[in-house]
Chains A and B, each alone.
Chain A
Amino acid sequence: MLAKPDQANQPKLLVDGLAKSYGPAVALKPTHLAVEPGEFLTLLGPSGSGKTTLLQMVSGLVAPTQGRLFIDGRDETQTPVHKRDIGLVFQHYALFPHLTVAENIGFPLKMRGLSSADIQKQVAGALEMVQLGHLAGRFPRELSGGQQQRVALARCFVYKPAIILMDEPLGALDKKLREHMQFEIKDLHRKTGATIIYVTHDQEEALALSDRICLMNHARVEQIGPPHEIYARPRTAFAADFIGISNIFRGRVECGADGATHLATASGRLRIDGDNLANDAEMALVVRPEHIELGSAGENEVRGNVAEIVYAGSETRLLVEVAADERVTVRVLPGKPLPKLGENITLSWKPEAAVLVTP
């Protein structure tokens, strides 16, 4: 059973084995998750990985097949949506087309029975916060996409829900506006100290915004941690591949008699560190492009021909064919000498820069 969390550092949200199936199709396997007060947690994963399902179960719009959910320590699994103190920002905003901007923002306050004077004051404050005071009387269809997004945010922040959920809120915006809105959301989070669960399939967005990222795949949580940790210490090949650019060498573990362990890959035998690795186990070694150096400099080396040179502004990327159909990406900073196309070169990295993951 669940040990009663102690009052002082009680999580804002505790997801205890929530799961959802639609008939035989599993949308989310039993999932455990704790979100701290004031935290910005991002659910990141490819389409269909169960992010929306998890979010909707937290909001109460979808009933779980099993599991429980606690907000501030209270079991809210059975609480109907409208009594659950949460806010949800929809992907396409879901602004009420028959209400003005001010009336949209005032809606949750009206539902909570506030006096119209209070509503007016708080709506004005919320409009101020998203810099839309001059558009209070407009209807949603008279606003641009970015403005509609801000109204949706204001409508959610105005009643200070215990948890704010956002399901790909920037998905409908173009890239420039999206980056701008990311700042605004981050800023709102700082100003209000709200607890936010944010859904996206865009890894850059997740890295930029989150205190922690909850990486999801195949209807389950793959890994949870702060962005830098997930980037630097992925636990699975999927995590390494989904976030940032990774070079992944797959192979079998060979435990040598001398205690040294190697991974036999298509690109050669690579030295790995690791305790109690089973001989012959399938593993993968992840090395980020920025950690690979040109030339021989350590124990781990691979050789290959330069197959492609890609100029990317702040850096140049080399694609080096180290085995049949296996290419390694290498970053070369500006000013460093570049090899020629087709040249056979040696690549190396420091052992501590490589991460051993399950394939």
Chain B
Amino acid sequence: MTTTAVSHAVSPAPRRFRFGPLWLAAPGLAFLAVFFLVPVARLMGLSLEDADTGALTMAHYARIFDTDVYFRVLLITFRIAALTTLFSLLFGYPLAYWLARLPEHRRGTMILLVMVPFWTSYLVKSFAWVIVLGRTGVINQIGMGTGLLSEPLELLHNEFGVMVGMVHAMTPLAVLTMLPVMTGIDRRLTQASGTLGATPAKGFWLVYFPLSLPGAAAAGLLTFISSLGFFIVPALLGGRQQTMLAQLIIVQVQEILNWAFAGALAALMLTTALVTCWLYDRVFGLSSLSGEPSDGKSGRKGVLRGLGLAVLDALAGVSSAVSTGANRVLGQAVSTRMLAFYCALMFAFLMLPTLVVLPIGFTSSQFLEFPPPGYGLDWFRTYFTSDLWVAATIRSFGVAFATAIVATAIGGFAALALARSNSRWRGLIFALFLAPMIVPRIVIAVGLFYLFAQMGLVATDVGLVIGHTVLALPFAFVAIAAVLKSYDWRLDQAAATLGANRVQALRFVTVPLIKSGLTAAFLFAFITSFDELTVAIFVSGGVKTTLPKQMWDDMILQLNPTLAAVSVVVFIVVTTLLLAAERLRRSSQA
């Protein structure tokens, strides 16, 4: 037994081909290539082709800038998107700040007051604003009733209406985007600035604010890009003067069938979105989008940095003086409650309009009156006895279910692949799976419509599921990737040494342990599909409509209390699923 070291020539280990983990992302990559990259690229291609000869031309672009009407739409779109971004950031920042400073368990609860409005269907939200802001709406009723108003205010079908709807729709996104960066800021830093002699106001502007800037900028980026592609809010709350780019694209495709021109408009929108992303990346680095600390890019810009610091200095001085003054006048207790009071107002702004719809679903009136003169289930009866509505509801559930399964499977394998891989392609693939969130939905939808028209998938459930899966994939992917981040891969190694093959390890160890993440992914994908309208507008043709599509058609044609009843159902379904998903997501992190 003393043959300790055997010495002889070293024999080489023959190389064996191993399936790298990245292969698991292959189905997702193929899916996105065919149903996301190709259609979008094809649409861009169309915008450069002469419709008859196929020759390369810039004519469609020239037309946008030559025709006053189109150019004005372009300007209005940018104006509304920019204003929406500005106001969402202004209103959202203090709310996010307040949430970030709450103890963790309370933040978990309060954040639901942002999550619910975030996931509530845009249709329901816009419908709610019509009821609140209309000529005979809640505000005018109250104003006239109390004698504050002598005649009803014009709150709808103008820029005011659009801005209210847009800011209401986008503030939750802004808050949820900046929150991770803010919660990541080490609280001891502001405490340290206090011990170093800074007043709280100065500590905020000179320490906290600069650190939160990447988050705020990320929020601005996402808000701006999403606003660019909006059409529900301007269509329902705006007037002719507030027509936005996406509405124009819909008209070009649906009514005029001018693909090339629609493509040019879409290309313009996409380019703007990408340029904004690029600018953001240059200044902050895209990594701060996911709440990771900025990679210091912002620290390098000499002149900009000096200027920024000077501005902050001035702000710090002014607000320090103001808050000292305010403290003297109002007393310390009152001024510390100001923020909480403001947040209560914001929560009311975000939640109340939707809640107004609920009683109207139960109205006994023929009209959308608030408060309802009496209550009854008439409109639910109308809803549930209408073949059209019932078919649409069933289709929406079916499509959402299928979408959720496909998106969770594809997204799950992709997340698994990326979690285990350290390939240099990782970053690129990660970006690709998130890209459907960045590219305006209207661009994806029109691109898919063109593709589906060639494949014969228009007005089919398969087409809907494919389209919705493209949109839901980022949400499913992110939900699973988040759980895998804290997953202990040694457990898989342990399973392997104990005799489990790859499939068994996945089935008996990995999947049970990331089950909560998978379920959350399923639910988020389900919700995304369940109230998706953009793809549905194009792809669910004829009688085969989905619930949001049917709502949209009704809203355009004639508002009626059935819509309120439908809204109640949609709101309850989505909110229930959301709360379930959030609960699971949180329990998995505990």
Contacts and interface: CB of A to CB of B under 8 A. Distances in A.
A159 interface: yes
Given A97-B513, A111-B504, A88 B494 contact: yes
Given A92-B490, A212-B4, A224-B5, A112 B11 contact: no
Interface in B1-27: 1, 3-14, 16, 18
B13 A77 contact: yes
B371 to A, nearest CB: 51
Interface string A45-68: 000000000000001110111111
B303 interface: no
Contact of A108 (B6, B498, B512): B498
B7 A32 contact: yes
A67 B16 contact: no
Given A34-B3, A34-B6, A98-B513, A111 B13 contact: no
A166 to B, nearest CB: 12
Contacts of B86: none
Given A34-B6, A224-B5, A107 B13 contact: no
Contacts of A112: 499
B9 A90 contact: no
Contacts, number: 119
Contacts of B10: 16-17, 19, 30, 66-67
A82 interface: yes
B11 A98 contact: no
A87 interface: yes
Given A33-B5, A97-B513, A107-B508, A66 B12 contact: yes
Contacts of B18: 63
A81 interface: yes
Contacts of A86: 497
Interface string A87-116: 110101011111000000001101110000
Contact of A64 (B4, B13, B490, B495): B13
Interface string B238-270: 000000000000000000000000000000000
A61 B497 contact: yes
Contacts of B16: 63, 78
B490 to A, nearest CB: 5
A40 to B, nearest CB: 12
Contacts of A80: 496, 501
B113 interface: no
Among B1, B7, B8, chain A packs the most CB atoms within 10 A around the CB of B1
B8 A78 contact: no
A322 to B, nearest CB: 35
A1 interface: yes
A87 B5 contact: no
Contacts of A2: 6, 8, 11
A206 interface: no
A225 B4 CA distance: 7
B90 interface: no
Among A9, A36, A88, chain B packs the most CB atoms within 10 A around the CB of A88
A87 B488 CA distance: 19
Among B488, B490, B499, B512, chain A packs the most CB atoms within 10 A around the CB of B499
B6 A32 contact: yes
Contacts of B494: 88, 90, 94-96
Interface of A: 1-2, 9, 11, 14, 16-17, 19, 30, 32-34, 36, 39, 59-61, 63-68, 77-78, 80-83, 86-88, 90, 92, 94-98, 107-108, 110-112, 155, 159, 212, 221, 224-225
- Shortest 7 CB-CB distances between A and B: which pairs? A17-B10, A111-B499, A94-B494, A108-B498, A81-B496, A88-B497, A224-B4
